[in-house]
């Protein structure tokens, strides 16, 4: 029954991607030499398009390994699908882009083939939080893409950029904010803890979380829109209807470059950095190729290329990159980021969700 | 002509296709949902087949009770507003020449082609401070400065009534067209004013149609989950919004299913109650 319920939509996406890649393979130029190939799952839509255009061709050129890219559904449907396929010894994709929470959930069932650090040349240059480890220290995933959620403002309404997340609490901003509607995508608990409670460690205990929720409740009168759909907030931000809120740094930068009166600010407490990992399904037989791919993706040149072409924040230390300061600033910041407490959304997911919903709706 | 009772299997054959459709599109999905609502939620995965009541237990709280109550009240209000607006409108429409009626009906049908998303965003623009209708009021001197009319309960109600109104009119139209005009003529001959004739003759004559329409709009409005999000505050979110959150964002299918089952049962109960009351009144 689980199968019937979960499969249809994502399977259609996979089939679609399959047909598309079969079309690619039919082209003689690609079919020629490559007997080595790998199936890579990436988030459907923008990421898949950018990767197909800028990243995968470079990889195939450099290594001779053909890539079959597969559009994965966001959310956890893909995790469930990989899990069920792995039970049957199948791997719909050898490598997948996987959210941090889904990576942790996959760890619980040993779904990810441990990654051998020795085969990743730039292993030492990776920022620590981009190495996702099993509790016993084996590597479950390596950072694939990262992006920032920052404090954004409409420049017509706010002449001065705010400097701190505390601006969200400012009574002067009553009914002016647009915030993400869920605990697990807004990461506002982490923001609250970092801004007022000395760091996300304060969320270790349930008392700490409740205290953060209590503090967060003070924001409610300022919030005009709790959004799930990005377009909803982006439009309102541009028009000044809702002149402040949290939003994606890269997208806001693009809008500003288009001449829209918006700005993205890294508050002094840091922007929220969310990210996805590369993980290898335990059912994959192409572990070597997978390591070659992750090694390739973790090179400074490729990370710089990703920042320029896809708009993601680099997973490597800034020193090894060849990004110009303005290129770096368009995707990242020197201020240490707020790293979400992903562990909370696996161990206490339902409890936090319940408290959060009661806070917002109640 | 005497109707004979069906004897052979072939006599039942016209029922096969609708029956099959009912099974495929209603019985199987709904039974699946009921089954899932008893499954065990696995926070680190998805869910495992089981028979537990925890999902229902979690739902039975004051918090979800309030959300459910709000959803039901909202749907009832939408139904009443729609019928109050649509009934006189449709009645007057049926008195127009055939050609005018056709044009109106085509326009109404074209509103149906708008998706909930378009309706939601259109109303959110209309109600906004920066580009909304209050700017018009300022221009003609009715207001001092433009204000935002959303998010608010009235914005949600307006959006939902707008969405459901074409359906309401289309459901009422056939009954009103078929209404015997001599009924009204008799009332007028006996000295009733047009309004009085409408209220005392037309409305009671079509009571069953009105009840059926109310139920249809109620059920239609109960499933709305986008408009409350776009036009309302979180306190105006319906149960459907929370069901979506659980199913899509929390991957908590069992709990989402339990809430959905509860919602279906509550609405069935309300519909049943309405029909029961209606029948009793008719019997008097």
In tens, the pLDDT along B208-257 reads 889 889 988 998 898 888 999 889 999 999 999 999 888 877 778 889 99
Cα B12 to Cα B5: distance, rounded to the nearest angstrom: 10
Q: Which residues of B touch A82 (CB under 8 A)?
A: none
Tell me the chain A residues in contact with residue B58 when contact means C-beta distances shorter than 8 Å. 354
CB distance B35 to B28 below 8 Å: no
Interior/surface letters A140-156, b for 16+ CB within 10 angstroms, e for the rest: bbbbbbbbbbbbbbbee
pLDDT at B1: 56
Q: Which residue of B has its CA nearest to A349?
A: B43
pLDDT for B187 equals 85
pLDDT value at residue A10 = 42
CATH code for the domain in which residue B81 is found: 1.10.3720.10
Domain map (residue ranges) of chain A = 2-146+276-331, 147-273+338-361
Q: What are A151's strand-pairing partners?
A: A246, A265
Q: Give the largest Cα separation in chain A, rounded.
A: 65
DSSP, res B141: T
Whether residue A149 contacts residue A187, with contact meaning beta carbons closer than 8 Å, is answered with yes
Cβ-based interface (< 8 Å): residues of A facing B = 1-2, 4-6, 75-77, 80, 83, 104-105, 108-109, 181-182, 184-185, 224-226, 228-229, 232, 236, 239-241, 346-347, 349-350, 353-354, 357-358, 360-362
Closest partner CB to B49 (pick from A1, A358, A360): A1
pLDDT at A162: 93
Helix%, strand%, coil% for chain B, nearest 5: 75, 0, 25
Considering its fold, how many domains does chain B have in total? 1
Q: What is the 3-state secondary structure (H, E, C) of chain A?
A: CHHHHHHHHHHHHHHHHHHHHHHHHHCHHHHCCCCCEEEEEEECCHHHHHHHHHHHHHHHHHHCCEEEEEEECCCCHHHHHHHHHHHCCCCCCCEEEEEHHHHHHHHHCCCECCECHHHCCCHHHECHHHEEECCCCCEEEEEEEEEEEEEEEECCCCCCCCCCHHHHHCHHHCCCEEEECCHHHHCHHHHHHHHHCCCHHHHHCHHHHHHHHHHHHCCHHHEEEEECCHHHHHHHHHHCCCCEEEEEHHHHHHHHHCCCCEEEECCCCCCEEEEEEEEEECCCCCHHHHHHHHHHHCCHHHHHHHHHHCCCCCCECHHHCCCCHHHHHHHCCCCCCECCCCCHHHHCHHHHHHHHHHHHHC
Beta strand pairing status for B47-48 and B40-41?
antiparallel
Mean pLDDT of B34-53: 82
Contact B245 A350 (CB under 8 A): no
Q: How much is the pLDDT for A1?
A: 38
Q: How many angstroms separate the CA of residue A25 from the nearest CA in chain B?
A: 34
> pLDDT value at position A17?
46
For A349, half-sphere exposure in the C-beta direction (CA atoms, 13 angstrom radius) is 23
Q: CA A145 → CA A72, A139, B67, distances in Å?
A: 15, 17, 38
Query: Which whole number is the average pLDDT over B100-108?
Result: 91
CATH number for the segment(s) A147-273+338-361 = 3.40.190.10
Q: Is the peptide bond before B151 cis (omega within 30 degrees of 0)?
A: yes
Bridge partner list, A145: A276
Site of tokens 């882009």: A97
From chain B residues 81-140, the ones with a CB under 8 A of any chain A CB are 121, 124, 128-131
Identify the burial level of A313 via C-beta atoms within 10 angstroms of its C-beta, where 0-12 means exposed, 13-18 middle and 19 or more buried: buried
pLDDT in tens, B172-202: 999 888 888 888 888 888 888 888 888 888 8
- B54 close contact with A: CB closer than 8 A: no
Q: Residue B67 belongs to what H/E stretch?
A: helix B62-94
Q: How far is B221 from chain A (nearest CA, A)?
A: 20
Percent pLDDT > 90 in chain B is 35
Residues of A in contact with B237 (CB under 8 A): 361
Q: If DSSP codes are grouped into helix, strand and coil, which group holds residue B77?
A: helix
Judged by DSSP in three states, B136 sits in helix
Is B182 inside a domain boundary?
A: yes
* Domain-embedded: residue B46: no
CATH T-level assignment (fold) for domain A2-146+276-331: D-Maltodextrin-Binding Protein; domain 2 (3.40.190)
Instruction: Please tell me the distance from the alpha carbon of residue A233 to that of residue A262, in angstroms, as a whole number.
Output: 12
Pick the closest to residue A37 from A279, A302, A278, A290 (CA basis).
A290
- Cα separation, A60 vs B132, in Å, equals 52
The ipTM value here is 0.80
Any domain includes B134:
yes
User: What pLDDT is recorded for position B160?
Assistant: 94
Whether B97 has a pLDDT exceeding 80, the answer reads: yes
Residue B222 belongs to some domain of the structure: yes
- Average pLDDT over chain B, rounded to whole? 87
Q: At B280, is the pLDDT very low, low, confident or very high (cuts 50, 70, 90)?
A: low
Q: Is-same-fold flag (A2-146+276-331; A147-273+338-361)?
A: yes
Structural domain harbouring B111: 68-283
Which of A250-254, B112-116, B280-284 bottoms out in mean pLDDT, i.e. has the lowest?
B280-284
Share of chain B above pLDDT 70, in %: 96
pLDDT at residue A20, as a whole number: 46
Token pair, residue A308, equals 């320029």
- Regions of chain A with pLDDT less than 70: 1-34, 74-75
Q: Give the span between the Cα atoms of B221 and B267, in whole angstroms.
A: 11
Residue A281, beta-bridge partner list: A112
pLDDT of residue A12: 41
């Amino acid at each position: 029954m689980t199968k019937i319920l979960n499969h249809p939509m994502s399977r259609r996406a996979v089939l679609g991607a399959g047909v598309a890649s079969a079309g690619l393979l039919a082209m003689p130029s690609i079919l020629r030499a490559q007997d080595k190939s790998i199936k890579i799952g990436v988030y459907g839509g923008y990421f898949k398009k950018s990767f197909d255009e800028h990243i995968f061709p470079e990889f195939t050129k450099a290594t001779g390994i053909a890539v079959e890219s597969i559009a994965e559904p966001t959310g956890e449907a893909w995790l469930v699908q990989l899990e069920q396929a792995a039970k049957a010894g199948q791997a719909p994709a050898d490598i997948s882009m996987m959210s941090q929470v889904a990576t942790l959930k996959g760890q619980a069932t040993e779904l990810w083939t441990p990654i051998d650090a020795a085969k990743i040349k730039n292993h030492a240059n990776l920022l620590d939080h981009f190495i996702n480890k099993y509790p016993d220290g084996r590597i479950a995933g390596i950072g694939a893409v990262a992006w920032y959620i920052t404090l954004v403002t409409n420049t017509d309404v706010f002449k001065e950029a705010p400097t701190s997340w505390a601006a969200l609490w400012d009574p002067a901003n009553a009914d002016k904010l647009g915030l993400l509607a869920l605990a697990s995508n807004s990461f506002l608990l982490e923001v609250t803890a970092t801004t007022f409670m000395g760091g996300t460690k304060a969320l270790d205990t349930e008392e700490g979380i409740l205290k953060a929720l209590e503090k967060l409740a003070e924001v409610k009168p300022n919030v005009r829109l709790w959004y799930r759909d990005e377009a909803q907030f982006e439009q309102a931000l541009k028009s000044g209807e809702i002149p402040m809120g949290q939003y994606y740094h890269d997208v806001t930068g693009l809008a500003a470059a288009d001449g829209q009166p918006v700005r993205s600010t890294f508050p002094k407490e840091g922007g929220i950095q969310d990210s996805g990992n590369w993980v290898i399904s335990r059912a994959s037989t192409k572990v070597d190729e997978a390591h070659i791919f992750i090694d390739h993706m973790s090179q400074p040149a490729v990370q710089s290329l990703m920042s320029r072409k896809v708009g993601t924040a680099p997973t490597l230390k800034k020193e090894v990159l060849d990004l110009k300061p303005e290129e770096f600033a368009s995707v990242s910041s020197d201020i240490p980021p707020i790293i979400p407490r992903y562990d909370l959304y696996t161990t206490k997911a339902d409890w936090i969700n319940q408290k959060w919903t009661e806070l917002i709706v109640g | 002509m005497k109707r004979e009772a069906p004897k052979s299997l072939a006599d039942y054959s016209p029922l096969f296709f609708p029956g099959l459709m009912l099974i495929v599109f209603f019985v199987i999905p709904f039974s699946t949902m009921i089954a899932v609502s008893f499954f065990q939620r696995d926070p680190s995965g998805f869910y495992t087949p089981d028979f537990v009541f925890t999902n229902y237990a979690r739902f039975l709280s004051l918090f979800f009770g309030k959300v459910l109550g709000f959803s039901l009240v909202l749907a009832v209000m939408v139904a009443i507003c729609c019928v109050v607006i649509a009934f006189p409108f449709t009645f007057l429409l049926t008195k127009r020449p055939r050609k005018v009626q056709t044009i109106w009906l085509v326009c109404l049908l074209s509103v149906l082609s708008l998706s909930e998303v378009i309706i939601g965003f259109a109303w959110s623009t209309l109600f906004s401070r920066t580009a909304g209708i209050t700017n018009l009021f300022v221009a003609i001197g009715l207001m001092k400065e433009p204000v935002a009319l959303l998010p608010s309960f009235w914005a949600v109600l307006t959006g939902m009534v707008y969405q459901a109104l074409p359906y309401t009119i289309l459901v009422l139209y056939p009954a009103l067209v078929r209404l015997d005009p001599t009924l009204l003529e008799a009332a007028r001959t006996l000295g009733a004013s047009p309004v009085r004739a409408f209220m005392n003759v037309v409305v009671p004559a079509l009571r069953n149609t009105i009840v059926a329409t109310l139920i249809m709009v109620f059920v239609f409005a109960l499933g709305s989950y986008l408009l409350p999000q776009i036009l309302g505050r979180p306190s105006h979110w319906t149960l459907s919004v929370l069901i979506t959150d659980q199913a899509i964002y929390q991957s908590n299918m069992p709990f989402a299913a339990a809430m959905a089952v509860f919602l279906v049962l509550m609405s069935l109960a309300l519909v049943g109650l309405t029909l029961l009351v209606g029948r009793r009144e008719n019997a008097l």
